[in-house]
């Protein structure tokens, strides 16, 4: 957030997402959309969504590093169900109002991604998620999703 403020990007990002301009946020990018995060107490996020990222709790490995199933709810159109690569210690546990979500599980259910029109934010890394990530990126870009290549 400090770098976004120093670069004068806070207001342009708030305006862009608020107007529904095509935006893709990845990993920390999803958390920055919220009003705060336990990762940086006292630091305000962009405040675009009414959320606070919280640390995974309980007897789970933190950071989570690996593949998890992503399951979209009705209305989440950026991707189908599939496995994506996560590398995170913090997560959102509720879907922000006005957004559709895809869900995953690591010590409990958490938000894997959110979507509102052409704004998509993923807790996982599509660029590290093989064909699943490729398809999400193609979908976000408005390109046709490629058919799987036979072995």
Active-site residue identified among 6, 27, 52, 83: 27
83 is catalytic: no
Kindly report whether the peptide bond that precedes residue 63 is cis, defined as omega within 30 degrees of 0.
yes
Active-site residue identified among 39, 127, 147, 151: 127
Q: Which residues contact 19 (CB under 8 A, 6 or more apart)?
A: none
127 is catalytic: yes
122 is catalytic: no
Active-site residue identified among 44, 125, 147, 151: 125
Which SS3 state, helix, strand or coil, does residue 105 take?
strand
Report DSSP letters for 8-58, one per residue.
T-HHHHHHHHHTT--EEEETHHHHHTSSEETTSTT-----SSS-EEEE--S
Q: Element (H or E) spanning 120, and its range? A: strand 119-122
CB 99 within 8 A of CB 106: no
Annotated catalytic residues are 27, 125, 127
């Amino acid at each position: 957030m400090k770098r976004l403020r120093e670069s004068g990007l806070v207001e342009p990002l708030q305006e862009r997402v608020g107007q529904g301009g095509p935006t893709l946020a990845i990993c920390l990018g999803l958390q920055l959309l919220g009003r705060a995060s336990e990762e940086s107490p006292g630091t305000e996020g962009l405040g675009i969504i009414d959320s606070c990222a919280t640390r995974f709790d309980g007897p789970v490995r933190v950071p989570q590093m690996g593949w998890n199933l992503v399951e979209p709810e009705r209305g989440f159109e950026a991707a189908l169900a599939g496995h994506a690569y996560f590398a995170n210690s913090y997560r959102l546990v509720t879907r922000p109002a006005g957004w559709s979500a895809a869900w995953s599980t690591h010590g409990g259910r958490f938000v894997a991604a959110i979507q509102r029109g052409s704004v998509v934010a993923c807790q996982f890394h599509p660029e590290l998620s093989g064909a699943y990530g490729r398809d999400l990126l193609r979908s976000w870009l408005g390109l046709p999703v490629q058919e799987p290549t036979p072995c």
